Structure 1
Amino acid sequence: MRILFLGDIMGRTGRTAVKRHLAQVREEENIDLVLANGENASGGLGLSAKSSRELFGAGVDAMTSGNHIWKFRDIIPVLEGGNLLRPANYPHGSPGRGWAVFEFQGLAPLAVINLQGRTFMEPIDCPFAALERILEEIPDHVRLRVVDFHAEATSEKLALAWMADGRVSAMLGTHTHVPTGDARIFPQGMAYMTDLGMCGPRDSCLGMAPGPIIRRFVTGLPQKYRIASGPGVLQGAIFDLDESSGTASSITAWSMHTG
């Protein structure tokens, strides 16, 4: 199974790039399944029900999210009934699902797990304990298992990756919006990349217009951020999974300037 996992989709520029180019990318790269983190797709902060419908309609098969998923209340029904996940280590009783087994036509069943880090982020439940629990719950016949670890600290991402190697097929980091140069296969066959980057405005600070962010650093005073304008970029990774063993045979960082 060949999967394209897109980094955090950022605002209208990111959504537009996905809608205009994803079908072409799927064909050219022989992609079987598209995953994406959609938590910033609406105005750069949060995901509305309307934006989620746009992205699913554009060809994204399933989406993960992170700490900004709760901004729009109309996303709750999508979390509870659709192909959208929220981090599994939010406290018990939070709306939606933190992991799911997806069975797309013609493909082997795939478990997708969404976790959120705690270092430099909200002090929610432990992602390490959550992953241990989830791996016990996934049926044995589901060999393909992909994790989106939405976290700030590279050390936390790597620590969870070393714990998961040999038990999941791929672990991809999201949240920092800058693609890392460490796509690799771990010793026991897990594909890994510390951060997938983002899908959004290319000439920006993590998707936002640079001006207010520069002023924040120079003055130390609060600023009103806004999404940057200009050409877009799609970023992520393409990886190949063996359906019988559940291991990865390759992973490559992927990007596309969309003009």
Structure 2
Amino acid sequence: MRILFLGDVMGRAGRAAITGHLPKLRTDWRLDFVVVNAENATAGAGLSAGHAKELLDAGADCLTLGDHAFDQRDMLQFINQEPRILRPLNFAKDAPGAGARVFQARGGKQVLVAQALGQVFMKRPFDDPFSALDAVLKKFPRGGNVQAALIDFHAEATSEKMAIGHFCDGRASIVVGTHTHVPTADAMILPGGTAYQSDAGMCGDYNSVIGMDKAEPMRRFITGMPRERFTPAAGEGTLSGLMVETDDRSGVALALHPVRLGGRLLHAGPPDAP
């Protein structure tokens, strides 16, 4: 199975990168399933119902959120109407929606997608992600009642992301980090057959400060004083993520390819990429 994961969609530039590239990639790369982290897709803060529909119509099979899951208030209701959107498992006990779900990929294959939030250096004290993911992976074993399992770990600290990767090794097909908006160069297959990358990067304008227009973040770093609100950078966006090929019977990751398409980052992707 060919599974594509795309990192945090950042504002209009990120949405344009998705809608501009994903429909063609689904055909050209013969993708079976696509997961997109969309928690910054609406003005850099959360995801609106309208923008969720736009990304799903472009070819995403599942949208994951993050610590900004409900910054857009209409998501509190919309997430219960749209099962293809997941919020983190450990966001809050009374949060609407689900943090894990089994989806049907092309050809009837079953894919588990789950998301959890890290605890280190995050602004809010979230529940333990290890126990939350452990329960889900025990219920849906890779190569058992699902043909593949993907974990989106939305966290700040690379050490915590790596620990989650090793914790899920041999049980998940893919563990990929989000949240920091900078793609890491550590994409690898762990000893138990789990594809891992600390951060997939963002889908957005990299001529920025992690997706935000440069002027205000730089002013705050230099002067220590805010003047304006942060706004997403509006230049050409880059599509960033990870494509993984898995064994249909065992769910083991067989190959992985970092994806960088369009904008300012060097191109990389599957060997047969356009």
Alignment TM-score, normalising by the size of structure 2 = 0.91
**RMSD between aligned residues:** 1.4
Question: Counterparts of 1:1-259 in structure 2 under 5 Å?
Answer: 1-82=1-82, 83-121=84-122, 122-138=124-140, 140-223=144-227, 224-258=229-263
Q: What is the CA deviation profile of residues 65-104 of structure 1, one whole-angstrom value per residue up to 9, with x for unaligned ones?
A: 1001111121123322320000001232211100000013
Aligned to 1:123, the other structure's residue is in SS state: coil
Gaps of 5+ in 2: 265-274
> Percent of counterpart pairs with the same letter?
44
Letter of the 2:109 counterpart: A
Deviation of the 1:29 alpha carbon: 1.8
Q: Output the amino acid matched with 1:84.
A: I
SS of equivalent to 1:67 = coil
For 2:129 and 2:70, locate their aligned partners in 1 and report how far apart those are by CA, in whole Å.
19
Q: Return the alpha-carbon distance in structure 2 between the equivalents of residues 24 and 91 of structure 1.
A: 37
Amino acid aligned to 1:123: P
* Matched AA of 2:19: K
Tell me the secondary structure at the aligned position of residue 18 of structure 2: helix
Structure 2: how far apart are the matches of 1:213 and 1:258?
A: 21
Take 2:21 and 2:85, find their aligned partners in 1: how far apart are those partners? 21
Report the Cα distance in structure 2 between the residues aligned to 1:253 and 1:17, rounded to whole angstroms: 16
Q: Which deviates the most, 132-141 or 226-235?
A: 132-141
Structure 1 residue runs of 5 or longer lacking an equivalent are: none
**Cα distance between partner residues in 2 of 1:81 and 1:136:** 27
Give the distance between the partners of 2:16 and 2:212, measured in 1 at CA: 16
Is the alpha carbon distance of 1:31 and 1:143 closer, same or farther for their aligned partners in structure 2, counting shifts above 3 Å?
A: closer
| Contact map agreement 1:78 1:84 (CA 8 A) in 2 | no
Counterpart of 2:253 in structure 1: which amino acid?
A: A
Deviates more, 1:169-178 or 1:73-82: 73-82
How many pairs does the alignment contain?
259
Mapped to 1, the partners of 2:75 and 2:254 lie a distance apart of 35
Equivalent pair of 2:33/2:106 in contact (CA under 8 Å): no
1:105 positional shift: 4.4
Amino acid at match of 1:136: K
